[in-house]
């Protein structure tokens, strides 16, 4: 299929008087890892919420692979191939690692169909095992998810998202709160995943963003300030001023 993977047209979300996402025209050409950066409150998570149907849009459109998905419910959008992780970690804490992934994989298949052959049960199980392997959690297969380290919970969330077989994966600050080792490991996995499917990553860690992203979009105050290669974005004086702060700001902040 030609054309962009994802497009938003004048996408807008207001919360009362606050316009969190303000007439955003965004194009994701696809192929590679796309990062969205921007200061706290820029509207990044809200933007994901609109794309994934978690929040109704105030105005504008979301088009995914040429199909208007505006106003569709989260589960419909998930079935069409968009998966996301949340900024606040959410797994089934009381279940094992493998069961968390298995449930997500099962939810996506037409599992309850009476004529579905029994072999499909083993297909789902096999997929779940393979995913755990991919994501580096096979060694924690039978652990209770709630007992995992913070970094492993974040990886499990990615595995759960991947179990729905998305074409596009939205990751909201996947490495926030991780140790440097966990971050490095997770970034490697995200890089590998982005070779197989389109990934949009919201991230505050500039080292991570500028190390892995093919294209970076900078959001401020609900709008897109600029979009381009890491080099182009790093050189953009508007970004330095609006996002990274002027040297005077840093002095004022005691940095």
Contacting residues toward ligand ATP, per CB under 6 A: 15, 18, 20, 38, 40-46, 87
**What is the number of other CB atoms lying within 10 angstroms of the CB of residue 58?**
15
CB of 46 vs Mg ion, minimal distance in Å? 8
Cβ–Cβ under 8 Å, residues 160 and 91: yes
65 binds, among Mg ion, ligand ATP, none (CB under 5 to 8 A by kind): none
CA 173 to chain centre: 8
DSSP structural state of residue 144: B
Full DSSP string of 7-26: EEEEEEEEETTEEEEEEEEE
Compare residues 38 and 81 and give the one whose CB is closer to ligand ATP.
38
CB of 25 vs Mg ion, minimal distance in Å? 20
| 145 Ramachandran zone, left/alpha/beta (phi>0; psi -120 to 50) | alpha
CB of 31 vs Mg ion, minimal distance in Å? 25
CB of 114 vs ligand ATP, minimal distance in Å? 41
**What is the number of other CB atoms lying within 10 angstroms of the CB of residue 96?**
16
Tell me: does residue 45 bind Mg ion (CB under 5 A): yes
Tell me: does residue 46 bind Mg ion (CB under 5 A): no
Q: Where does this chain touch Mg ion (CB under 5 A) — which range of 12-20, 44-52, 155-163, 210-218?
A: 44-52
> What is the per-residue binding string for Mg ion in 142-181, x denoting contact by CB under 5 A?
----------------------------------------
Q: Which of 196, 171, 193, 165 is nearest to 89 (CA)?
A: 171
| 142 contact partners, CB below 8 Å, separation of at least 6 | 96, 97, 98
Full DSSP string of 119-141: HHHHHHHHHHHHHHHHHT-GGGT
Q: Where does this chain touch Mg ion (CB under 5 A) — which range of 40-48, 61-69, 108-116, 232-240?
A: 40-48
Compare residues 100 and 183 and give the one whose CB is closer to Mg ion.
183
Interaction residues for Mg ion, span 76-115 (CB under 5 A)? 87
Compare residues 47 and 64 and give the one whose CB is closer to Mg ion.
47
Compare residues 18 and 232 and give the one whose CB is closer to ligand ATP.
18
CB of 18 vs ligand ATP, minimal distance in Å? 6
| 111 contact partners, CB below 8 Å, separation of at least 6 | 120, 121, 124
Binding region for Mg ion (CB under 5 A)? 44-45, 87
């Amino acid at each position: 299929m030609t054309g962009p993977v994802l497009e938003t047209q004048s996408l807008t979300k207001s919360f009362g008087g606050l316009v969190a996402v303000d007439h955003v025209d965004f194009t994701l050409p696809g192929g590679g890892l796309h990062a969205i950066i921007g200061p706290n409150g820029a509207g990044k998570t809200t933007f994901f919420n609109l794309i994934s149907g978690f929040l109704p849009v105030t105005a504008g459109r979301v088009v995914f692979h040429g199909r208007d998905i505006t106003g569709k419910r989260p589960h419909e959008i998930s079935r069409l191939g968009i998966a996301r992780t949340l900024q606040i970690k959410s797994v089934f804490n009381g279940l094992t690692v493998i069961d968390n992934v298995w449930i997500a994989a099962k939810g996506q298949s037409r599992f309850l169909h009476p004529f579905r052959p029994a072999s499909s049960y083993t297909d789902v199980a096999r997929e779940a095992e393979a995913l755990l392997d991919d994501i580096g959690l096979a060694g924690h297969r039978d652990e209770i998810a709630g007992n995992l380290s913070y970094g492993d919970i974040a990886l499990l969330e990615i595995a759960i998202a991947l179990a729905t077989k998305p074409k596009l994966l939205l990751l909201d600050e996947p490495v926030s709160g991780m140790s440097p080792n966990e971050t490095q490991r997770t970034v490697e996995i995200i890089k590998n995943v982005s070779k197989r499917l389109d990934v949009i990553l919201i991230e505050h860690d500039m080292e991570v963003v500028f190390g892995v992203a093919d294209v970076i979009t900078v959001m401020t105050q609900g709008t897109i300030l600029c979009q381009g290669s890491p080099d182009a974005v790093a050189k953009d004086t508007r970004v330095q001023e609006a996002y990274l702060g002027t040297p005077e700001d840093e002095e004022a902040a005691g940095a």
